[in-house]
Amino acid sequence: MNALDDLRQCPDVATLKPALQKLCEKFGKIARLDVLTAMHDGTKQAICFLRLDAPDKEVALMKALGVGRFGGEIVFVVNLD
């Protein structure tokens, strides 16, 4: 099970944000975090945009999660339970 799978255990944004903080703390401090929600085919999704305090830490996080950037921010989608 990878880190994104662990985040999928969160039922809502209120529990997702602290889980993201915990996940990211081994890579660096979150400088910015925005989470948008959407429904897709009956599944609630969280679209996460984040920045860490240093670019090299962001690269390490992206490699660990297998995610990329959009508009300069790390972005990924989490299906919420």
Separation CA 63–CA 38 (nearest Å) = 25
Buried b (16+ CB within 10 A) or exposed e, 43-74: eeebebbbbbeeeebbeebbeebebeeeeeeb
Of the two residues 4 and 29, the one the predictor is more confident about is: 29
pLDDT (mean) for 27-48: 93
pLDDT tens-place string over residues 12-37: 999 999 999 999 989 999 999 999 99
Separation CA 77–CA 67 (nearest Å) = 9
pTM greater than 0.75:
yes
* Whether pLDDT at 1 is above 70: no
Q: What is the pLDDT, as a whole number, of residue 63?
A: 92
* Whether pLDDT at 48 is above 90: yes
Q: Are 52 and 27 within 8 A, CB to CB?
A: yes
Q: What is the pLDDT, as a whole number, of residue 5?
A: 81
